[in-house]
Amino acid sequence: MSEPRLDRDIDQALTGWMDRVAPDRAPTRLLEGTFARTMRTGQARVYPWHRVPVGRLGRTAAGSGARIALVALVVLVVLATVVGLAGGALRLTAPSLASPTPTPSPSPSPTISSSLPAPISVTPEATVPVNGPIDLVADGPAIWAMAPGRLDRIDPSADAVTASVALGSTADLYNGLAANAAGLWATDADTALLYRVDPATLKVAAKIPVGRSPKGVLATADGVWVADVHGGTVLRIDPVTNKVAATTTVGPTGNSGPNWLASGLGSIWVDVPNNGTVARIDPVTNKVQAAIKTPDNVTPCGGLAVTTEAVWVTSCSAATVVARIDPTSNTVVATVDLGGFGFNPTLINGVPWISVDTGAADSGMLVRIDPVTNTIDRVLVPSVRFGGGGDIVVAAGSVWVVDGYNDSVIRLPLEAFAS
């Protein structure tokens, strides 16, 4: 007995398939890391994830989901037509998870290492809802969160978003955010612009063309630096003229070039995944002082932190490792397994803390690295749902942490991060 194919049947099958294959959020860091690793050995084939524009915390461009759903719908309609013409009595079922698309390795959900110290629960002082937080900086009186198409100002006296600045389309891919006395600086890869925002007037003061695909941005008292991922360069911006004043080549042109920046020890530091180095730049001469090679298990495309004795750089999400660079010899002298995917090291009391993503919205943790032993010696876990993996900022007597999984910025007591 044949059964007519109904639109409702197709809709149910499509919904079931999307529920099974769609992750809770786009595995941005995993895709970034996998692509960066393949770039180091050459990449002949083009895979679907190469066409997915991603930001720091896993935001896909608007419209990607619609295109995927449209393709899936066409396939299901064709299947329904074939079954109907064959006169079979088969019901349309959701496709299995098997796919010709290769699965990136390693798994995006690592197991928390049993060798880590016992976690300490910390009660947040506040949880501030922020839709789609990507980056976080402090400019003194306020904390600023970057989100798709806007900057949100968080007032620490109110523990709430009290103002926003529109930067462009919510489909634009914003990458980096920095602050100095000259203003707020935000990169937009989609338009190849650096936005300069006046935090007092909440207006965009300038839109500065910067290379081919700007990503990381660093703002100091001496100037503003931008990493041009596809240009293989670091651009120095003169805040007086709002123009590029110098260009430093740190790697080849093409995908997965220079990512993120830090300053310290009289140098500008930038990680370059497609040649597996951390470049050290003289901010006076704009020349590369050293190109520091990282080991094979470290793809340098996470954040950096600089102390008087070490430079710390995290891997992409294809690895769970942070590397320690000796700034005297300009060599990697140690690696530390985080037990999950870390991104941006932040110095608190002179030692690096990293927000770690272990693959779920309620399993994030904050870890501290002991610079003497090069091991994790303290683990904090917020008492609320926390996914980890985002920026950490110390401001207004507290520690502020981005939680992209749960659309929030949480405020934690600074004393919890003490020894």
pLDDT of res. 98: 29
Rounded Cα gap, residues 398 and 337, in angstroms: 27
Pick the closest to residue 313 from 375, 359, 364, 270 (CA basis). 270
Same domain, 253 and 137: yes
First to last CA, the chain: 73
> 385-396 burial string, b = 16+ CB within 10 Å, else e?
bbbbbbbbbbbb
Q: Which residues contact 213 (CB under 8 A, 6 or more apart)?
A: 189, 192, 228, 229, 230, 231
Last residue of a domain, one of 38, 62, 86: 86
Domains in the chain: how many in total? 2
Answer yes or no: is 106 within a domain: no
Domain extent, residue 380, equals 120-417
Same domain, 213 and 291: yes
Same domain, 153 and 41: no
Strands 375-382 and 120-122: parallel
Same domain, 132 and 78: no
pLDDT of res. 404: 95
pLDDT of res. 35: 52
Using CA atoms, how far residue 337 sits from 46, 112, 269, 369, 379, in Å, is 31, 10, 22, 10, 13
Same domain, 130 and 61: no
Same domain, 340 and 204: yes
Answer yes or no: is 185 within a domain: yes
DSSP calls for 165-194: EE-S-TTS-EEEEEEETTEEEEEETTTTEE
Same domain, 242 and 389: yes
- In this predicted model, what pLDDT tens digit does every residue of 399-408 receive, in sequence order? 999 999 999 9
Same domain, 44 and 186: no
State residue 272 phi and psi, 5-degree precision. -130, 95
pLDDT of res. 100: 31
Question: Is residue 190 within 8 Å of residue 172, measured between CB atoms?
Answer: yes
Q: Which amino acid, 128? A: V
pLDDT of res. 172: 78
- In this predicted model, what pLDDT tens digit does every residue of 256-272 receive, in sequence order? 999 999 999 999 999 99
Same domain, 281 and 406: yes
Residue 169 in tokens: 């389309």
pLDDT of res. 317: 64
Answer yes or no: is 113 within a domain: no
Low-confidence ranges of the chain (pLDDT < 50): 1-31, 41-113
pLDDT of res. 80: 41
Task: Let me know if 40 is exposed, middle or buried by CB neighbors in 10 A (0-12, 13-18, 19+).
Answer: middle
Rounded Cα gap, residues 19 and 153, in angstroms: 35
Residues pairing with 376 in the sheet:
369
Same domain, 333 and 388: yes
Last residue of a domain, one of 68, 86, 104: 86
Answer yes or no: is 173 within a domain: yes
- Would you put residue 355 in left (φ > 0), alpha (ψ -120 to 50) or beta? beta
- Look up the CATH number of the domain holding residue 210: 2.130.10.10
Q: Which amino acid, 201? A: T
Question: Is residue 211 within 8 Å of residue 250, measured between CB atoms?
Answer: no
pLDDT of res. 101: 29
Answer yes or no: is 96 within a domain: no
Rounded Cα gap, residues 347 and 393, in angstroms: 9
Question: Is residue 281 within 8 Å of residue 272, measured between CB atoms?
Answer: no
pLDDT of res. 52: 35
Question: Is residue 9 within 8 Å of residue 80, measured between CB atoms?
Answer: yes
Last residue of a domain, one of 29, 60, 86: 86
Answer yes or no: is 94 within a domain: no
DSSP calls for 90-155: PPP-PPPS--SSPPPSS-SSPPPPTTSPPPEEE--SEEEE-SS--EEEE-SS-EEEEETTEEEEEE
pTM confidence score = 0.76
Local structure of residue 24 (DSSP, 8 states)? S
Same domain, 224 and 294: yes
Same domain, 248 and 127: yes
* Number of helices (H), then strands (E), in the chain: 3, 30
Answer yes or no: is 103 within a domain: no
Cα Rg, the chain, nearest whole Å: 23
